[in-house]
Structure 1
Amino acid sequence: MKKIITNVVTISCLVLATQQFSAQKVVVNREVETTKDGKMLLGTQTKDQFTKAPYADWYVKEHDEYAIDQKAISELRKDKINSYNITVFIGTWCEDSHRDFPRLMKILEEVKYPEVKLTIIAVNRKKESPSGEEGLYNIQKVPTIIVQKYGKEIGRIIEMPKTGYIERDLVEILKKDDKSVIKEIFKK
């Protein structure tokens, strides 16, 4: 009898959680028209949104012309970048985003990064998104690329990569994470 009650409660909780989850609608690929900037993306986006006009004008050119550092790509694969989550905040009105976001996407394609682990959030000129995610991450500048593991931020690239190459900065972030894990192990 106890097992039956436990199973009923478990199934009820799962059904309730599923209903709650499906009730939360997230608007994806929101586009707005502004008098100053014309069309602008806001909020959660999918990568294919950037291959459409007017974003394709800057996205495709920068993506296709960027020469990737293959040594850094090998390091990213070795350091298992695909096991991390990446959140990127961009402004479709921002020149730095026009340069670095397509480069990031090309890097992620090169390492076959799973799209489900990537979150792209477009913000307005005030660095605001419709759902307020910028507040959770304390976004001051765009682009900002945030690398996380198990929900914990490992590192971020703000506005421009320190090394001049996003892939090299990502390698540095992942190396730093490895060292912090080793410190945690030997601390005990």
Structure 2
Amino acid sequence: MKKILFLSLVTLFAACNSTKKVTETNTIETKKVEVQKAAPKKVKQVAREINAKKDADGYLTGIANKETFQDEAFKSWFNSRYEEYTTDKETIGKLKTALEGYTIKGFMGSWCGDSRRETPRFYKLLDETGFNQNDFELITVDRSKKTPDNLQEGLNIIRVPTFIFYKDGEEVGRYVEYPRETLEKDILKIVTGKPYKHSYDRSE
């Protein structure tokens, strides 16, 4: 009788312990699922109204897009430089996937020779890589590198054009004024995390 009672207790204890393990396992798995659900989402650029206007000198200030440059004052230099630029197709192919998940903020001056050269080329690169241009915000600045509503504030815009690349809301690098190698190769280095310094980067 004692043996039967002892065996019953052992069996009951083993069953409870097994249930406890299953419960603990389920709890751990539930916590894992909760952690996965709580993972941060990728930060996307908020599309803002295209509001670039000519200032007293006839230069653009504000948020622009590709269509902005079809104004009679800008389209001759924009279209000719867009058409005449031949991209490096091999690097473009790599950029198609490398640019995924990025947002870009650009600053240019319609009065600036470097901006007038690089901005049409940059748009051609975006077009050929199939980049979602809702994730690209272009800000046109006056000669003091400012806009009326200070869109440049806190971003250390010293030279234009400047194109800043963000991943998950964090700046990962910037292209400033002219390439070190080529536009495509410089950008590929930035977005793939390879060592890259723009022409005015004096950091160690």
1:58 pairs with 2:69: no
Pair 1:77 & 2:99 matched: no
Q: State the partner residue of 1:154.
A: 172
Runs of 4+ off more than 3 Å: none
Q: CA-to-partner distance for each residue in 1:155-185, whole Å, 9 max, x for gaps?
A: 001111111x21111100012179xxxxxxx
1:131 CA drift (Å): 2.1
Q: Is the 8 A contact 1:29 1:49 kept in 2?
A: no
SS of structure 2 residue aligned to 1:87: strand
1:104-146: per-residue Cα shift (whole Å, max 9, x none)? Answer: 0000000111111000000000000122121221100000011
State the partner residue of 1:30: 52
CA RMSD of aligned residues (A): 1.7
| 2:113 alignment partner in structure 1 | 95
Contact 1:90/1:143 (8 A) holds in 2: yes
**Partner secondary structure for residue 176 of structure 1:** coil
- SS of 2:104's equivalent? strand
Identity %: 31
Q: Which runs of 5+ in 2 are unaligned?
A: 1-47, 196-204
Quote the Cα distance in structure 1 between the aligned partners of 2:54 and 2:191. Answer: 36
Q: Distance in 1 between matches of 2:60 and 2:49?
A: 12
Partner amino acid, structure 1, of 2:63 = T
Aligned residues: 148
Provide closer, same or farther for how the CA distance between residues 122 and 92 of structure 1 changes in structure 2, counting only shifts above 3 A: same
User: TM-score w.r.t. structure 2 length?
Assistant: 0.68
Length-normalised TM-score, structure 1 = 0.74
1:111 lines up with 2:145 in the alignment: no
Q: 2:184 aligns with which of 160, 167, 185?
A: 167
Higher alpha-carbon Rg: 2
| Amino acid paired to 1:57 | S
The one-letter amino acid paired with 2:187 is L
